[in-house]
Chain A
Amino acid sequence: MSLPSNPVLKFFTSLKLTVVLLVLSIVLVFCATLNQVQLGVWGVQAKWFRSFFVWHDFNGVLFPVFPGGFLLGVMLLINLITSHVFRFKLSWKKLGITITHAGLILLLIGEFVTAIYQEEFQMRMDEGETKNYSESPRFVELAVTDITGPEWDQVVAIPAAHLKSPAAIQRPELPFTLKPLAYYPNTVLQMKTQAPTAPESGADRDIGARLAVTPVPLTYKDNERNLPSVLVELNGAGGSLGKWLLSPWLMDSQRFDYEGRTYELSLRFKREYKPFTLQLLDFTHDRYPGTEIPKNFSSKLRLINPQTGEDRQVLVYMNNPLRYQGLTFYQQGFDNNDTTTILQVVRNPGWLIPYISCLMLTLGLFIQFGISLYGFTQRRSAKLAAVKV
């Protein structure tokens, strides 16, 4: 082992730094686990793991209170790589450690890739229903659909992030601008007649004029969704076209005509369209006899891809997802008395990395501890032999 003399290198290659980082990681994981009770798994990931610092709100002022998962991960990576470059000498005796650490580096990189590139969607389908898109479980978008042409619709989708600032949104495809007047991240909508005391929505077009909007706190529970609402004003060249209230609460899009064309407005969970369709043929949910313990859920699907000419049946069930075109469809849940399936749709380009790193880590540790154990037994038997003599 050669020790670097440069103080910066000395710091980054030191074993003490490794230990400190590992201890900080344990504390991070522990605190994040506890925090999961309040924040839910997504909140915890954003706050503790997929961040450089963990920020805490002290009376409205945010302070970094702990290094986040990204920072610790990067530091560990630097520590590992510099140690191997500057401190460790390659030797057969250290082969196991080298392989283990290489596996670890790969695992960390894999987690970064996942953190950045993994996308998760959901597909809810009633029995018989066909869909060619999946929806984000958490992010919404404002969709303006031009349905004038009988052949096809033109959709302009505006992500929720743009709706949070009051700046008017102008798009070349649209002859009007959209000005978000108010955005509520989670709401309850009621008819005014049912909730006379609730604040008015402010909308003057379509159903929104008859609705009351009550903002509610964000939920972090795994089985609940935040349902936002937005109040938008549309402005054409000749002035205001009116104010609409949009929300995923509203099942139907709101339709209007302008300059001879017909448009539909909706705030919906962000969609990702696919070049193929899936139809839910049948959903089954078996329970163990005489109990409510789920034995198995499965969705029988029909996959049709006009581009490749595929038309086949697939069965998705627990521990047996459908992998297709870089997407994986998992059986996540069900609804409506076992007639609706909820599939989780995941795209993770880094999915293979953990498999490789797992192999490397296992191999590395086996070699390392195997060498030690062999040496130990050799010494031991020599010792015992000596005692007997």
Chain B
Amino acid sequence: MKRILPLIILVLGAVYFGSSLRPHHPGGDFHLSEFGELPVLVGGRIKPLDTVARTSLLQMQESQTVRTAGRTLEPIEWFTLLVFDPAKADALQTFKVVNTEVQSLMQINPEEGGAQKRFSFDQLRAHIPDLEKQVQLAGPVEAKQRTAFQSAAMQLYGNLTTYQQLKYSLQDPESPDFLADIREFETSIDKGVAAVRAQVEGKPHDKAAADAVLSLARRFQFIGDFGKLLVIPPPPGAPDSLAWKKVGESLLGSFENDGVDPAVLAWAGLGHSWRNGQAVEFNEIVKLYRAQLSRGYGEALTKTDIETRFNAAAPFYTSMALYVGAFILAICSWLRWPVALGRSAAYLLTLAAITTTLGIAARMWLEGRPPVTNLYSSAVFIGWAAVLLCLALEFFYRNAIASAAAGLIGFCTLLIAHHLSLSGDTLEMMRAVLDSNFWLATHVIVVTIGYSATFVAGALAILYVVLGVFTKVLTQPVAKTLTGMVYGIVCFATLFSLVGTILGGIWADQSWGRFWGWDPKENGALMIVLWNAIILHCRWGGLVKQRGLMNLAIFGNVITGWSWFGTNLLGVGLHSYGFTENGAKVLGAFMVANLVLIGLTFIPREKWVSSTTAESGD
């Protein structure tokens, strides 16, 4: 049993990972996953509707799935309802409202929101005008100065706006049969336009036809203004392949062009068949529209297909579970079956690292960019690099300590990534300032590995303290090994953070003319370099021994945490990109927790649980 246990666990993990890759078929007879793959342009890039559905839900309710009384809706199922049958979507509880003042403003009973405090559009709609007033009052206040109520009101209002804008993206939600409207428009357009022209010229005309066409034009103008997604691609071979249009804009354009764009008809037809429960027609239209798109947008379609599969597979969530498993196995290995469980932990960790690698690679391919482009991807990458470092340590030491550290860091960084993903599309476009694949691939990668290494040293030191104070695991040889590991990782961290920081300076010199601008983020990176240098010099000079080294390494967590997130809180400088109030609290808690751990080491050594087993060197 002990012998084959690691293999069994590896197989189980692989099966779990494999199961996440199997294709999903939400929507029953309706091929909603194919519908979700259809490309639209929003936020500056072409992405599948599935991604739009997921990021909208994450922003609105912090979860990708919608719970209803009967069952759980997949993101694309909810989205289809929202765009094609909005009255039904309005009854679903998809708006998270936690702030009690906002709850009372909207006059909603918190209990109706359930444990997650989610409310439906129907529950909120009566008091949207009151919310609007509060938003107007809070608008001029700088984001950082807003009270919790003001921020929450702004956020809810933003979510309600997005929700409404999505409704107007594929068709006119007010119309009972948009397809019929368009067909009618197609047949009457020539007559109507002629009538309007005659009206303008003061000649006799068909007043009813003129009024009908003008009212339609106003309607199209309205859906064009209010819709959010650009869903009508320019014809293949158009000079600007990114000049996509909204449905309303395209319909307005059909006054000048020859008739309605087939894509508008396709979307309207999808809405029609969905509402009438005609799955065969729905699937046929999806197929035909895809065939039409494949002329000129074949590459975009391939990307949206893969992105949809990537979304459904959610490799980072799979990795999170695997990291937890590896962490537990590593801990168990110190109690029983050290070799078998230790090896199991390492296997699971390897599997998790492979899963994360595939996820990162998929994102890189989709984006055509190096792995780290924003705060979200930095979280994923820091975890990934840290896990690889730990795997290397585990290869040398085989004591499951590095595996435990890897499980811890891997899980925490992906959890951070999940929370960062709540603010919107994580494959967002790069601002011009940062748009340089060369420097993203060098400076950003190297400095991020420096962060990873500093966190690994910190995590190992935390394990030293926790295992030492509370358990008997930290025997003298284990303590000595850990010291060697921490020292080695600190050397590695020094190298990468120093080189990465200087490369950043060179980028700055290349791009905006100064090697060092004392930007908060640059300063944060410099602090990490200095701190690692302090650890090394203290060690070389004999100023610290085992416990001192561990304390310094733990404090490295605090400094790296500051550099990674704290500097973004200041809201100044070139690197200050999005970070929330909640994030600030979590960061504060993280720093305090590390300081508490440092405090623990000041408990006299003989009172540590580990010292009751054997003499340990300090």
- Please measure, in the bound complex, the distance between the C-alpha atom of A45 and the C-alpha atom of B498, giving whole angstroms: 22
Known: A15-B541, A376-B488. A293 touches B431 (CB 8 A): yes
- Please measure, in the bound complex, the distance between the C-alpha atom of A227 and the C-alpha atom of B494, giving whole angstroms: 44
Residue of B45, B433, B514, B543 ringed by the most chain A CB atoms within 10 A: B514
| B429 in contact with A15 (CB, 8 Å) | no
B523: Cβ under 8 A from any A Cβ = yes
Q: Which residues of A contact B433 (CB under 8 A)?
A: 318
B209: Cβ under 8 A from any A Cβ = no
A92: Cβ under 8 A from any B Cβ = no
- Please measure, in the bound complex, the distance between the C-alpha atom of A107 and the C-alpha atom of B502, giving whole angstroms: 10
Q: What's the nearest-Cβ distance from chain B to residue A346, in Å?
A: 4
Q: Which residues of A contact B506 (CB under 8 A)?
A: 354-355, 358
- Please measure, in the bound complex, the distance between the C-alpha atom of A318 and the C-alpha atom of B511, giving whole angstroms: 6
- Please measure, in the bound complex, the distance between the C-alpha atom of A163 and the C-alpha atom of B433, giving whole angstroms: 39
A289: Cβ under 8 A from any B Cβ = yes
Q: Which residues of B contact A89 (CB under 8 A)?
A: none
| B435 in contact with A33 (CB, 8 Å) | no
Known: A36-B572, A289-B44, A369-B491. A29 touches B543 (CB 8 A): no
Chain A 1-44 interface 0/1 with B at a Cβ cutoff of 8 Å (1 = within): 00000000000000110110011011001101110110011001
B534: Cβ under 8 A from any A Cβ = yes
| A351 in contact with B509 (CB, 8 Å) | yes
| B518 in contact with A41 (CB, 8 Å) | yes
Q: Which residues of A contact B573 (CB under 8 A)?
A: 36, 41
Known: A34-B570, A288-B44, A319-B436. A41 touches B510 (CB 8 A): no
Q: What's the nearest-Cβ distance from chain B to residue A294, in Å?
A: 4
A20 nearest CB neighbor, chain B only = B534
Give the contacts of A79-113 with B (CB-CB under 8 A). 107, 110-111
Q: Which residues of B contact A282 (CB under 8 A)?
A: none
| A346 in contact with B514 (CB, 8 Å) | yes
B230: Cβ under 8 A from any A Cβ = yes
- Please measure, in the bound complex, the distance between the C-alpha atom of A116 and the C-alpha atom of B557, giving whole angstroms: 35
| B516 in contact with A19 (CB, 8 Å) | no
- Please measure, in the bound complex, the distance between the C-alpha atom of A332 and the C-alpha atom of B518, giving whole angstroms: 17
When the two chains form the complex, which single residue of A291, A358, A376 contacts B503, counting CB atoms closer than 8 Å? A358
Q: Which residues of A contact B602 (CB under 8 A)?
A: none
When the two chains form the complex, which single residue of B518, B537, B562 contacts A15, counting CB atoms closer than 8 Å? B537
When the two chains form the complex, which single residue of B41, B541, B571 contacts A289, counting CB atoms closer than 8 Å? B41
Chain B 490-527 interface 0/1 with A at a Cβ cutoff of 8 Å (1 = within): 01101100110011011001111111111110011011
B141: Cβ under 8 A from any A Cβ = no
Interface of B is mostly: helix
| A16 in contact with B523 (CB, 8 Å) | no
Known: A32-B518, A294-B431, A330-B512. A26 touches B534 (CB 8 A): yes
B496 nearest CB neighbor, chain A only = A365
- Please measure, in the bound complex, the distance between the C-alpha atom of A16 and the C-alpha atom of B426, giving whole angstroms: 46
B399: Cβ under 8 A from any A Cβ = no
When the two chains form the complex, which single residue of B244, B435, B439 contacts A295, counting CB atoms closer than 8 Å? B435
- Please measure, in the bound complex, the distance between the C-alpha atom of A15 and the C-alpha atom of B436, giving whole angstroms: 40
A366: Cβ under 8 A from any B Cβ = yes
B439 nearest CB neighbor, chain A only = A319
Known: A15-B543, A16-B543, A290-B244. A26 touches B527 (CB 8 A): yes
B-side interface size class: 35 or more
A148: Cβ under 8 A from any B Cβ = no
A262: Cβ under 8 A from any B Cβ = no
When the two chains form the complex, which single residue of B41, B499, B520, B530 contacts A33, counting CB atoms closer than 8 Å? B520
| A332 in contact with B512 (CB, 8 Å) | yes
- Please measure, in the bound complex, the distance between the C-alpha atom of A190 and the C-alpha atom of B43, giving whole angstroms: 43
When the two chains form the complex, which single residue of A29, A34, A114, A296 contacts B515, counting CB atoms closer than 8 Å? A114
When the two chains form the complex, which single residue of B43, B492, B520, B530 contacts A288, counting CB atoms closer than 8 Å? B43
A-side interface size class: 35 or more
B244 nearest CB neighbor, chain A only = A289
A373 nearest CB neighbor, chain B only = B488
Known: A358-B499, A366-B495. A33 touches B43 (CB 8 A): no
Q: What's the nearest-Cβ distance from chain B to residue A244, in Å?
A: 36
Q: Which residues of A contact B243 (CB under 8 A)?
A: 289
Chain A 44-59 interface 0/1 with B at a Cβ cutoff of 8 Å (1 = within): 1100010000000000
| B513 in contact with A346 (CB, 8 Å) | yes
Known: A30-B527, A289-B230, A290-B42. A18 touches B537 (CB 8 A): yes
Q: What's the nearest-Cβ distance from chain A to residue B564, in Å?
A: 14
- Please measure, in the bound complex, the distance between the C-alpha atom of A118 and the C-alpha atom of B570, giving whole angstroms: 27
- Please measure, in the bound complex, the distance between the C-alpha atom of A344 and the C-alpha atom of B541, giving whole angstroms: 45
- Please measure, in the bound complex, the distance between the C-alpha atom of A41 and the C-alpha atom of B575, giving whole angstroms: 13
A297: Cβ under 8 A from any B Cβ = yes
Q: Which residues of B contact A180 (CB under 8 A)?
A: none
- Please measure, in the bound complex, the distance between the C-alpha atom of A361 and the C-alpha atom of B503, giving whole angstroms: 11
A221 nearest CB neighbor, chain B only = B572
B516 nearest CB neighbor, chain A only = A111
| A23 in contact with B534 (CB, 8 Å) | yes
Q: What's the nearest-Cβ distance from chain A to residue B323, in Å?
A: 27
When the two chains form the complex, which single residue of B396, B510, B520, B572 contacts A319, counting CB atoms closer than 8 Å? B510
Known: A32-B518, A354-B502. A344 touches B432 (CB 8 A): no
Known: A22-B534, A293-B44, A362-B499. A118 touches B567 (CB 8 A): no
| A321 in contact with B510 (CB, 8 Å) | yes
A224: Cβ under 8 A from any B Cβ = no
| B526 in contact with A29 (CB, 8 Å) | yes
Known: A49-B518, A295-B435, A318-B511. A288 touches B572 (CB 8 A): no
B42 nearest CB neighbor, chain A only = A290
| B505 in contact with A19 (CB, 8 Å) | no
| B512 in contact with A344 (CB, 8 Å) | yes
Known: A19-B543, A44-B518. A295 touches B432 (CB 8 A): yes
Known: A22-B533, A44-B518, A295-B432. A365 touches B543 (CB 8 A): no
8 A-B pairs in the complex with CB atoms less than 8 angstroms apart: A26-B559, A33-B523, A36-B573, A318-B435, A348-B515, A351-B515, A362-B499, A369-B491
The residues of A with any CB-CB pair to B shorter than 8 Å are: 15-16, 18-19, 22-23, 25-26, 29-30, 32-34, 36-37, 40-41, 44-45, 49, 107, 110-111, 114, 118, 120, 222, 287-291, 293-297, 318-319, 321, 328, 330, 332, 344, 346, 348, 351, 354-355, 357-358, 361-362, 365-366, 369, 372-373, 376-377, 380
- For the A-B complex with A291-B429, A354-B509 known, give 16 more contacts whose Cβ atoms are closer than 8 Å: A22-B530, A37-B570, A37-B572, A41-B519, A120-B513, A288-B44, A289-B243, A290-B230, A291-B43, A296-B432, A296-B435, A319-B435, A321-B513, A346-B513, A354-B516, A377-B396
Q: Which 10 A-B pairs have the closest CB atoms?
A: A288-B44, A15-B541, A346-B513, A358-B502, A365-B495, A294-B432, A289-B242, A291-B44, A330-B513, A319-B511
